[in-house]
Chain A
Amino acid sequence: MSQLDDQSLELGAPSGSIAECTLSEPEKTPQRYRIVDDEGNYDPDALPPLSNEELKELYRWMVLQQVIDVRMVKLQRRGEMGTYASGRGQEASMAGCAYALEDQDWLFPYGREATALLIQGMPLRDLLLYWRGVEDANKQRKNKVFPPAIAIGTHIPVGVGFSWGMSLDNSDAITTLYHGDGHPSTGEYQAGMNFASVIDAPALFYCQNNGYSISASFEQQTGAKTVAQKGIAYGLDGIRVDGNDILAVYDAVRTAREHVSKGNPTIVESVSYRLDAHTTNDDPSLYRDDEEVAQWEEKEPVSRFESFLKEFGLWDDIDEEAVREEANEQFDQAKEAADAYDSGGVEEMFKYLYDEMPAELERQLEAFEQFLEERPDAYDHIEHRPKG
């Protein structure tokens, strides 16, 4: 029976009351899936099958994310980095999701998921280069990472199309579309989700609902209670998970991935909180109060995982200081490599736009190179012009 033909067209007794035929939101907001509580307590039977080594590895990723965020913001303040979007507070959400994916899976990021990219294989050096505004950082094909979608929602239909290709090829890979709680407000998101549903795309919509899209709170972004339910109208399943519980995130994504790989696009809404500003250009004190932030600091995911590791009996095996030192060294090395990176000359601006450079573009490049030779004083304007 087609979806349209779900009842007899013969006239007769009315089919139920209006109330029975009316759809509405669930009165109660669906619970967030959780394995570990705020104090680190857990149900042993609910734990995902992760080895002690893997648990320690998850911890190292979270610490690395913390180190990256702190140091990137410092570099930005010193003028050694462009605008940066910190992920502090979302360490579990980022790392837990990426850790649950398979090597063959592709990741379509939106910018605030540093460790997810690194877990997928992107070098930390390239992450630094990206935030320095060097386009070479987007050469991540071998690492199965698409360039971050800075224009909100633009990557959604693209990622859906990419996953469509995977299914046409009978690949067992999926695409994961990282996004925030603002993305579902865009046309691209709605259109992409509907399309994914129709073509049974192996696409995992992974929402890091961190409470704010720049200054707009989730309540200002949508009248819906959750992001997970957005899928219902389009025929997608949705899972809502406590995004500060890395084991719950891992488990939810692993389950969703299984579902998605069979051609059932799914939304996982990871409910977390952005502890830092939207980006280094933002002043969150204008739209949220310290009390709210302090409440979420209490639920901060790295501390919660530490509590779990203590309850689980693994904490004694971990030298926290050494883990942090190692993450800092990793960052030092990446920064050194980024500093040493030769991002090329002006030809870099021109050469990747077409497979073969059109004659007019070649003329523009040649004329510009000649100009720079003739007018070396132009470099003074280029290097020293006040920025912004």
Chain B
Amino acid sequence: MNATLVEAVNDALQTAMAGNDRVVVYGEDVAETGGVFRATQGLKDEFGDDRVLDTPITEIAIAGSAVGLAMYGYRPVAEIQFSGFIPPTFNQLVSMASRIRWRTRGEMTAPMVIRAPYGGGVRALEHHSESLEAAYAHVPGLQVVIPSTPHDTKGMLLSAIEEPDPVLFLEPKRLYRSFREEIPDEEYTVPLGEAAVRKEGEDITVISWGSTMPDTLAAAETIEEERGVSTEVIDLRSISPLDKETIIESVKKTGKAVVVHEGPKSGGFAAELIATINEDALMHLEAPVHRVTGFDVPIPMLGMEDYYLPNPPRIEEGIKRALDLEGGV
């Protein structure tokens, strides 16, 4: 089928629920309306009230009950309506979900998925646009997955639901309906923890994920035309666990790298990637690794959010800066 990213979410949930009657979908407004972005539309009609539930407004209980439900043997896929509402769940994610297996010495597990639309760019209200994936990736035991295409979205969400450990599945909401892609009707999976090389190149590695992927690809292509260089573009897809191998192999080949993400700069996931590159590929670097990110401020309300978001010109300048610098190790 030819699907948008949000339709791929819906298709994945439908496929998972049809194939496994232990999969339960719930969250705020997910049943009657199909969620504020309609990601769960039609599921209640097909699978009934017991498996598709509207909950009270309580992110704490949504996350906490998913842990319990998963421990008991169900496969909860709970929706947090916007990434800005994940913080109330943080205690449950840190204290419970991420460490159930570890603290019970493998006796119990929490195979659960928390889905949430994340990021800015859709003129949403305050507290609806946060991109704090780096904070969640810092929690040991919690997998953080961020697809950027409809194909990956279906395949990775199905993988996440099959995962024996908890997954935070962040969906780039400004890409929800921005383009379509052909995806298989049948069940398929895309493994978690594996980056995708979106474009092969020789001169510089550009790494991104989720909401900034299309702009990163566009910027890379502009630079190729302008400079006559070839760029390798990597879509991380999972930031925890991290596919270090793909990154390091690429940097060893190109000698230069730029990381692009929407979250704030300081302590952002780019910092982790740059440290990883330094640890494992420093001697191959021909220039410092650059990052193009959001700023160290909250994502502004809609009046100025587009100033905050990295856009193709900013990404182009970041790539050019890395290209123009010489004299690495």
C-alpha spacing A113/B296, complex, angstroms: 32
B212 to chain A, nearest CB (A): 12
Assess whether B54 is interfacial by the CB under 8 Å rule.
yes
Assess whether A46 is interfacial by the CB under 8 Å rule.
no
Assess whether A186 is interfacial by the CB under 8 Å rule.
yes
A214-B29, A349-B295 in contact; A385/B304 too (CB < 8 A)? no
B28 engages A216 (CB within 8 Å): yes
B57 engages A216 (CB within 8 Å): yes
C-alpha spacing A51/B55, complex, angstroms: 45
Residue in B88, B296, B301 whose beta carbon sits within 8 Å of that of A134 in the complex: B301
A135 engages B303 (CB within 8 Å): yes
C-alpha spacing A111/B127, complex, angstroms: 13
Assess whether A9 is interfacial by the CB under 8 Å rule.
no
A interface majority secondary structure: loop
C-alpha spacing A226/B123, complex, angstroms: 35
Measured between beta carbons, the chain A residues less than 8 angstroms from B329 are none
B33 engages A214 (CB within 8 Å): yes
B304 engages A133 (CB within 8 Å): yes
Determine the interface band of chain B, counting residues with CB < 8 A from chain A: 35 or more
B interface majority secondary structure: loop
A82 engages B123 (CB within 8 Å): yes
Smallest Cβ-Cβ distance to B130: which chain A residue: A151
Residue in B59, B88, B127, B314 whose beta carbon sits within 8 Å of that of A378 in the complex: B314
Binds B, one of A253-261, A280-288, A290-298: A280-288
Assess whether A220 is interfacial by the CB under 8 Å rule.
yes
Measured between beta carbons, the chain A residues less than 8 angstroms from B61 are 185
Residue in A221, A283, A378 whose beta carbon sits within 8 Å of that of B33 in the complex: A283
B119 to chain A, nearest CB (A): 11
A279-B125, A286-B34, A388-B122 known; 4 new pairs, CB 8 Å cut-off, are A133-B302, A151-B127, A186-B58, A346-B307
Name A138-186 residues within 8 Å CB distance of B: 148, 150-154, 182-183, 185-186
Assess whether A187 is interfacial by the CB under 8 Å rule.
yes
Q: Could you show 28 A-B contacts with beta carbons less than 8 Å apart?
A: A82-B123, A83-B125, A133-B123, A133-B126, A133-B304, A133-B305, A135-B300, A148-B126, A151-B127, A152-B57, A152-B85, A213-B56, A213-B57, A214-B28, A214-B33, A214-B36, A215-B32, A215-B33, A215-B54, A222-B56, A279-B125, A287-B33, A349-B297, A349-B304, A349-B307, A361-B297, A385-B306, A388-B124
